Homo-oligomer: A and B are copies of this chain.
């Protein structure tokens, strides 16, 4: 059941099984929302497909830390809710003004701006509810730490802070430090929270948590470098969102600062370091190691 470690781990099957499990949990999570129009707007974006990387990382990390992944499922759902909320708000006319997301019209295009803002707000609060009220079988002190990680990742110290700096950087050249700040906050923080919360639910010790921080920081940055590369090299049809958007918005990207080849090299180094951090837990780390490769593969 591992990668570099063993060859009998069927990662494709693992990924698909995990994804289906997450889809079911997401579908079940939005029961009682009222009014119906709000529920529809929340479901439209939450159930719009996607790779479900954050939930899957959370479940895998929980298992690596010796936990039963079922205990992490509500948190996995919460992570996808936060991610979805950030996409809905980022796509708004006042922000990135995007019409297309995951191959479909963006939330505000379908439901209007007010409902899109509110659906995002509702998904964000629902995420905290999932952990606080709908996570049976996990000790309260562990859930509190999970809620702490989620609040940091979603707010000013994470997603929001990254988006603010990203918007401020539009149309201007920024240096590598600023670019990294944006990505570590806008993408990296929630990926890190995905990995950490799974482990926290399983009661992981500090040394494993530290290793998972290194792992998630590395794949988070590598993920973003690849994203920049793909925006430059892939088509809208492949991406499921508008391609060439960074160029059009005159955004600073890794390829722009470092060139395509150096960007690719950096991504490779980060992925290797991420996997190396898990060396002491390699027997259980198969899924996370394979996920590092998958997340940062060229043809995702």
Which positions in A face B, CB cutoff 8 Å? Answer: 32-35, 37-39, 42, 85, 89, 92, 94-95, 112-115, 117-118, 120-122, 124-126, 128-129, 131-133, 139-141, 143-145, 147-148, 150-152, 154-157, 159-161, 163-165, 167-168
Most chain B CB within 10 A, of A112, A120, A156, is at: A156
Who on chain B is nearest to A120 by CB? Answer: B121
Q: Give the chain B neighbours of A125 by CB distance below 8 A.
A: 124, 150-151, 154-156, 160
Q: Give the chain B neighbours of A121 by CB distance below 8 A.
A: 85, 89, 120-121, 124, 154-155, 159-160
Q: Give the chain B neighbours of A114 by CB distance below 8 A.
A: 92, 94-95, 167
**Contacts A35-B165, A132-B148: A155 and B113 contacting too (C-beta < 8 A)?**
no
13 A/B residue pairs, CB under 8 Å, sorted by A: A32-B157, A34-B157, A35-B165, A94-B112, A94-B113, A94-B114, A115-B164, A115-B167, A122-B156, A126-B151, A126-B155, A128-B147, A132-B145
**Contacts A38-B164, A115-B164, A140-B141: A133 and B151 contacting too (C-beta < 8 A)?**
yes
Q: Give the chain B neighbours of A85 by CB distance below 8 A.
A: 121
Point out the residue from B42, B143, B163 that lies within 8 Å of A144, measured CB to CB: B143
**Quick check: A89 and B117 within 8 Å, CB to CB?**
yes
Within the assembled complex, what's the spacing in Å between the Cα atoms of A128 and B146? Answer: 11
**Quick check: A155 and B122 within 8 Å, CB to CB?**
yes
Q: Give the chain B neighbours of A168 by CB distance below 8 A.
A: 35, 37
**Quick check: B150 and A128 within 8 Å, CB to CB?**
yes
**Quick check: B92 and A117 within 8 Å, CB to CB?**
yes
A133 to chain B, nearest CB (A): 4
**Quick check: B117 and A117 within 8 Å, CB to CB?**
yes
**Quick check: A160 and B95 within 8 Å, CB to CB?**
no
